Chain A
Amino acid sequence: MKGNPYLFAAYAATWIIHIAYIGTIVSRYARLKREIDELKKPGLRSQEKPEARS
């Protein structure tokens, strides 16, 4: 198999799309983890900016 720019572009594009999507899942996990840690702190949330969640 010789190097073909179209073939390379198609395979690269496929993996860039999949990796980018996995990246969004990982970042959403990280954000949720922070939220969960915040929720676990007892009594803190009720004292902090109550309008933030409205």
Chain B
Amino acid sequence: MSKLFFIFALLTLLLLGYALHAALVTAPTERTMGDVQRIFYYHVPSAWTAFILFFINFGASVYYLIKRNPTADIVALVCAEVGVVFCTVVLITGPIWARPVWGIWWTWDMRLTSTLVLWLIYVSYLFLRRFSSSGQTPTLAAALAVLGALCVPFVYFSIWFFRTQHPQPVMGGGGSIDPRMLHVLLINWLAFSCFAFLVCWSRYRLERLQRDVDHAHAMEALRDPRGKLR
């Protein structure tokens, strides 16, 4: 691993520590919900990070479909995988917040259901990548990713178009938020974005290495016992 990676990892770790402190200590306690509202500082940045990763996956997939560029294919795969991890966090922290606030873990509300569908689409994408051995897999996966990305704006704007229990969006939703809370939210978003970038970086290197090893195995299989290419 490069020195730059370790410096960035250290800075991200410090930022995550500061963001955690800000979420638990610095941010004011919400009057109605109390401390449980602090889940918002992990839930919302995770959702935004997942959406950004799915958006990059969409861009890389479109680029792959046009240019058949293997780097774009790796970027798409990596962003989908890390995006699914962040989306999983959203789907778990949401119900943990809903239980004390709404009195239920889950409801088939449009925002919740569409987020679950989005998660299932990208899990299907990863299953396709993992279990299909066809040469057409990257193309099929890219096509699925393009269709899956259409679900992202639907999830985001679902609370504008449908009657829903889910709180209105922090940005552009017409609601108001205490500036100190907004500051802590943005710090956490920055910290999670850096963390996501770091994980994507590691995963990208791993995927490149995996493809190099697969290529070496293929070359090995082509060699005859005297070490010459067949």
Evaluate contact between B36 and A7: CB separation under 8 angstroms. yes
The CA-CA distance from A45 to B209 in the complex, in Å, is 19
Within the complex, which residue of B199, B203, B216 is in contact with A39, where a contact is CB–CB below 8 Å? B216
Q: For the complex, would chain B's binding face be called helix, strand, loop or mixed by DSSP majority?
A: helix
Can you name the residue of chain A whose Cβ is closest to the Cβ of B20? A11
Report the minimal beta-carbon distance from B218 to chain A, rounded to whole angstroms. 9
| Choice from B38, B88, B100, B203 contacting A25 with Cβ under 8 Å | B203
| Contact, CB under 8 Å: A39 / B213 | yes
Given contacts A21-B82, A21-B199, A25-B206, 8 further A-B contacts (CB under 8 A): A2-B35, A6-B36, A6-B97, A9-B96, A13-B93, A18-B199, A36-B213, A46-B227
- Residues of chain A touching chain B, judged by Cβ–Cβ distance below 8 Å, are 1-2, 4, 6-7, 9-11, 13-14, 17-18, 21-22, 25, 28-29, 32, 35-36, 39, 43, 45-47, 53-54
Residues of B in contact with A (beta carbons under 8 Å apart):
20, 24-25, 29, 34-36, 38-39, 42-43, 46, 82, 85, 88-89, 92-93, 96-97, 99-100, 195, 199, 202-203, 206, 209-210, 213, 216-217, 220-221, 223, 225, 227
